[in-house]
Structure 1
């Protein structure tokens, strides 16, 4: 799916996002879908989707047993659609059109 600017948008159900975040690390998800890992984490938190704890992927990498949290459907439907916007630029960097605003603020 693309937004009005032609950028890819990550759009999936809660159940699909739950399955995705338990199948690979957030950084890999971010790279695959062109979104920020922080946005994936925020979407999980906002829609009550449990995420792997720190160290989870290291345990998996070393063959240790890990538990996958079940999707809690008490407050949200597993079929609810979640949309995560694409990453734009780098955090802390000016975006196109912001240069003029920044120059005006420095001059003021």
Structure 2
């Protein structure tokens, strides 16, 4: 299971490929991608890691905080993803503001 705020998830997806992240946390890379897309977290485009491997320059898209707070907590497990606002009690199901489709 992966549980972190939007800023930390943004940094993580720009630090290594989604398949490595998924393997490390025991989750599906599709769930990571879906959570990023829903919560407006930019992620590397196809070919990004190959360009890095070959020493080419890549552009990193900044994290947009227009729709979501950078402190919102995102939880991704084997069943999908959920978000819990940082100021609410994330131990209670009523605190969830969104869940995977």
Q: TM-score, normalised by structure 1?
A: 0.71
**Structure with higher RCO (Cα < 8 A, 6+ apart):** 1
1:56 is aligned, of 45, 48, 54, to 48
What SS does the aligned partner of 2:3 have?
strand
Q: Is the 8 A contact 1:40 1:84 kept in 2?
A: yes
> What is the root-mean-square deviation in Å for CA atoms of aligned residues?
0.9
Partner SS for 1:58: helix
Write 1 or 2 for the structure with the bigger share of strand: 2
Q: How many residues align?
A: 79
Counterparts of 1:27-42 in structure 2 under 5 Å? 27-42=19-34
For structure 2, the 5+ residue unaligned runs are 80-101
Q: TM-score, normalised by structure 2?
A: 0.76
Aligned equivalents of 1:60 and 1:77: distance in 2?
A: 30
1:72 correspondence with 2:64:
yes
Question: Which whole-Å CA distance do the structure 2 matches of 1:33 and 1:86 have between them?
Answer: 9
**Corresponding residue of 2:93:** none
